[in-house]
């Protein structure tokens, strides 16, 4: 089934550890995004990429990095995790040349930093 | 900065009609989106408006007024399965496409 796959689904991590959340899409969408979702704060954009080889900062980029080596993959790295990064992380993609360009979301990665 | 406002929570009765409002103040507007998110799940796309007016899709309709920075999502013939959060999002463009979300409206449908 075509779509977006995120891994891991859930992870508990000690503060100070490095963590990479993986995201792969098979829809050949040009744009990809990482959001975090926290109670009362909604979805906040961390980083985005409009095409392979380019990335940009969103609303809350500090403490996170991304890369876009190819169209399909968009990993999110926490270099040194802190408890405030405990959240649910959603990866999304969109076809910016399509009719509406709506976002398609992965199932989310629940991260707990202790 | 960007600002998108929605009510935090709404309650309605099965079979009724409910209107969820969204106001926005953003730069580089390039479309307004509504998503539905059930608890513990990913958001799914409901509707899209880029021009003023009403877009109808079955029991769901969405309205946009760009001059007022205002949109609403109208849900008719409410069903229990419509209990979910509804997220308003604006697509920005200033050379790149970014989507900024409101905090979402949690809708409870009562029997």
**What pLDDT digit, counting tens, does each position of A3-53 carry?**
999 999 999 999 999 999 999 999 999 999 999 999 888 999 999 999 999
Report the pLDDT value the prediction gives residue B2, as an integer from 0 to 100: 86
**Residue B69 at interface with chain A, using a CB cutoff of 8 Å:** no
Predicted local distance difference test score (pLDDT) of residue A97: 73
Q: What is the pLDDT of residues B49-75, one digit of tens each?
A: 999 999 999 999 999 999 999 999 999
The 10 Å CB-count burial string (b at 16+, else e) for B10-46 is: bebeeeeebebebbbebeebebbbbbbbeeeebbebb
DSSP bridge partners of A62: none
Which ranges of chain B have pLDDT less than 50? none
pLDDT at A96: 80
Q: Average pLDDT in the A49-74 region?
A: 96
Residues of chain B in contact with residue A34, where contact means CB-CB under 8 angstroms, are none
DSSP state of B55: E
Average pLDDT of span A75-104:
93
Closest CA to B33 of B64, B12, B5: B64
Give the C-alpha distances (Å, rounded to integers) separating A91 from A4, A21, B57, B73. Answer: 8, 9, 26, 25
For residue B95, the model assigns a pLDDT of 61
How many helices (H) does chain B have, and how many strands (E)?
Answer: 0, 11
In this prediction, residues A105-112 reach a mean pLDDT of 97
* Yes or no, beta carbons of B33 and A59 under 8 Å apart: no
Find residue A21's DSSP bridge partners: A76
In A, which residues are within 8 Å of B49 by CB distance?
A: none
pLDDT of the residue at B94:
59
Placement of tokens 């463009």 in the chain: B93
Q: What is the 3-class SS of A28-71, one letter each residue?
A: CCCEEEEEEEECCCEEEEEEEECCCCCCEECCCCCCEEECCCCC
Share of chain A above pLDDT 90, in %: 89
> Does residue A1 have a pLDDT over 70?
no
Helix (H, G, I), strand (E, B) or coil at B87: strand
Q: Do B98 and A48 touch (CB under 8 A)?
A: yes
Task: Note whether B104 and A56 are within 8 A (CB).
Answer: no
């Amino acid at each position: 089934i075509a779509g977006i796959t995120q891994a891991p689904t859930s992870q508990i991590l000690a503060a100070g550890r490095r963590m990479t959340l993986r995201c792969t899409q098979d829809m050949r969408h040009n744009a990809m995004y990482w959001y975090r979702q926290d109670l009362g704060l909604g979805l906040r954009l961390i980083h985005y990429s409009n095409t392979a080889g380019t990335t940009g900062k969103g609303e809350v980029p500090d403490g996170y990095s991304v890369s876009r080596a190819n169209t399909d993959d968009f990993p999110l790295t926490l270099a040194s995790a802190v408890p405030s990064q405990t959240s649910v992380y959603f990866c999304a993609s969109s076809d910016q040349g399509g009719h509406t360009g709506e976002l398609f979301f992965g199932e989310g990665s629940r991260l707990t930093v202790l | 900065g960007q600002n998108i406002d929605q009510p935090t929570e709404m309650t309605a009765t099965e079979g009724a009609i409910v209107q969820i409002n969204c106001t926005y103040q953003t730069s580089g507007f390039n479309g307004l989106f509504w998503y539905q998110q059930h608890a513990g799940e990913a958001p799914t796309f409901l509707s899209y408006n880029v021009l003023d007016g009403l877009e109808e899709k079955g029991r769901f309709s969405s309205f946009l007024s760009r001059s007022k920075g205002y949109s609403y999502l109208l849900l008719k013939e409410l069903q229990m399965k419509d209990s979910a959060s509804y997220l308003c999002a604006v697509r920005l463009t200033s050379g790149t496409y970014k989507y900024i979300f409101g905090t979402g409206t949690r809708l409870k449908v009562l029997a």
